[in-house]
Amino acid sequence: MLKEKYTVISKAMLLFDGFIVSVAFFLTYFLRMHFHKFYKLDLFPSNQIISSSPGVLSEYLVILFLSVLLWCFMLYLNGMYRSMRTRTFFEILWIIIKSSLFANIALGAIIFLFKLQFVSRIFFIIFVIASLAFLLSEKIAVFSVMHYVRKRGYNYRRLLIVGTGKRAASFVKKIQYHPEWGFQILGAIDDEPYRAVEKVGNVGVIGILKNLPQIIHTYAIDEVVFVVPRSRLNYMENAINACETEGVKATIAVDLFDLKIARLRLKELEGTPLVTFETTVAEEWQLFIKRTLDFVISGICTILLSPFLLITAILIRLTSSGPVLFRQNRIGLNGRKFVLYKFRTMYRGAEKELSNFDVNEMARPDFKKKKIKYITPVGRILRKFSIDELPQLFNVFVGHMSLIGPRPTVPKEVVQYKSWQRRRLSMRPGITCLWQVNGRNKIDFEEWMKWDLEYLDNWSLWLDFKILIKTVPVVLFGIGAY
């Protein structure tokens, strides 16, 4: 019954979103029709940049159909029509923004490919803004109203907790701390009767595990949540089967391991539920923004710096024999190998001689002084101001690297890593990182590793921005370079 109710609500939400997009469409057409009545800043009226008429409404109806279809599909694809009960405001906001981005890109592509010239640029821009604003306002309103209603004790779901341990007590406390979720805990079931527990937090124990079917018959229960130790999961099968037979939703809390770093994520593969433990703190939307910024910034910088890159290549070629670019195999995300590009700063054959040193010796700050004799005069200038790193913009553009991240290392170094050091490979490597703005080549290998792991454990877009800002003076003044 609950599943059918949720299906009806989801369909109603989808239809209402289609209606909201339609309202935004007709409002946009009205504004475009009367645009010149309130907009007088047409700087080049002789060129008719903004035409006086948007075209007939009947032509635009195909845009209405496509827009409603694309918006509803993208919202569905991004999970908007799943339960919003425990979602946060920022999760809703991200779904709307992501759906808007893809829906409008798809709409723009259709307009371009099929040469729908009757669609004016002003109409498209106003519609993008209006549809985003209207849907966002609608979702915020629904989100706020539902939270208010649930806090008042309406639209709630009754939970029965199976388990009497510390994890169960913590779960009860969390539920009670969030009344806006709309959960009411009926009571707890003692999965280990010999312990004679009477309360879980401030919730009373109303029975034992073998009496679960009778309890379901006696009380109106929407969901049974099993919060038991992993050693007790084998004893839960009959109880879960009872929930299945009775048609009551059963949920198992899967925080079964005391992990210090990794975070749990739930996935599904062709009906098989999967529990994933990830050591990086990044959310999908943050990584999406990070990769988008990497792609855009590296592409723009490559184009703008192309004359300077050409001059640098000519200087390298004229002052020493050998190729302009230095290519080297490096280890990237999760152990992937890729070819890293740098401007060559050493004499030919230097790499072969340096390969005789072991990793620990190469990581010491005093090794940098020994390495200077292999560097060309032009190479010293390039290294001093990190100009030799600029070809790595291509690595960033194609996705081998990021602008910010742990520096990529050579395969023979990775082989010698300790287990805890390999965690630095769980993030895409970068051109600059924390240790480069906190000592650069003046710090030793162990400290370098600790800086990288600190970056992983505290990563955010804001941290990347701060590292990028700190990198500027480090590069301009050649701090820590050799």
- What does each of the 482 residues of the chain score in pLDDT, given as a tens digit? 445 556 778 888 999 999 999 999 999 988 888 766 665 555 445 444 455 566 678 888 999 999 999 999 999 988 898 877 888 888 899 999 999 999 999 999 998 888 888 888 888 999 999 999 999 999 999 989 988 888 888 888 899 999 888 889 998 999 999 998 889 999 999 988 777 788 888 899 998 888 888 898 888 888 899 988 888 888 888 888 888 877 788 888 877 666 666 666 666 666 666 666 666 666 677 788 889 899 999 999 999 999 999 999 999 989 888 899 999 999 988 788 999 999 998 887 777 666 665 555 555 555 555 667 778 889 888 888 889 999 999 999 999 999 999 889 888 888 888 877 888 888 889 998 887 777 655 666 777 788 888 888 888 888 888 888 888 887 766 655 55
From 128, 223, 131, 209, select the one nearest 164 (Cα to Cα): 209
pLDDT at 334: 78
From 225, 213, 153, select the one nearest 188 (Cα to Cα): 225
Half-sphere exposure of 32 (CA within 13 A, CB side): 25
Backbone phi, then psi, for 132, in 5-degree steps?
Answer: -65, -45
Instruction: Enter the tokens of residue 154.
Output: 């309406």
Instruction: Enter the tokens of residue 383.
Output: 């290294």
From 450, 424, 427, 420, select the one nearest 438 (Cα to Cα): 450
Mark out the alpha helices in 256-366 (DSSP H runs). 284-319, 350-354, 359-363
Q: Helix, strand or coil for residue 144?
A: helix
In the chain, % helix, strand, coil (3-state, to 5) comes to 60, 15, 30
Residues 6+ apart with CB under 8 A from 479: 440, 473
Q: Where in the chain is the domain with CATH 3.40.50.720?
A: 157-256
- CA of 330: how far to CAs of 333, 350, 401, 414, in Å? 10, 18, 10, 10
pLDDT at 261: 60
pLDDT at 134: 96
From 425, 426, 446, select the one nearest 435 (Cα to Cα): 446
Could you tell me where the beta strands, DSSP code E, fall in 389-458? 402-404, 430-432
Burial class (CB in 10 A: 0-12, 13-18, 19+), 297: middle
pLDDT at 338: 93
Angle at 264 between CA 270 and CA 97, to 5 degrees: 75
pLDDT at 312: 93
Burial class (CB in 10 A: 0-12, 13-18, 19+), 184: middle
State how far the Cα of 343 lies from the Cα of 345, in Å rounded to an integer. Answer: 6
Provide the β-strand partners of residue 343: 325
Residues 6+ apart with CB under 8 A from 112: none
- CA of 206: how far to CAs of 163, 232, 243, 327, in Å? 12, 19, 17, 69
Q: Helix, strand or coil for residue 254?
A: coil
Q: Helix, strand or coil for residue 367?
A: helix
What topology does CATH give the domain 157-256?
Rossmann fold (3.40.50)
State how far the Cα of 91 lies from the Cα of 171, in Å rounded to an integer. Answer: 22
Provide the β-strand partners of residue 264: 277
Half-sphere exposure of 42 (CA within 13 A, CB side): 16
Residue-by-residue DSSP string for 157-199: EEEEEE--SHHHHHHHHHHHH-GGG-EEEEEEEESSGGG---E
Query: What one-letter code names the amino acid at 359?
Result: V
pLDDT at 47: 47
- CA of 95: how far to CAs of 74, 75, 78, 344, in Å? 9, 7, 6, 45
Q: Helix, strand or coil for residue 324?
A: coil
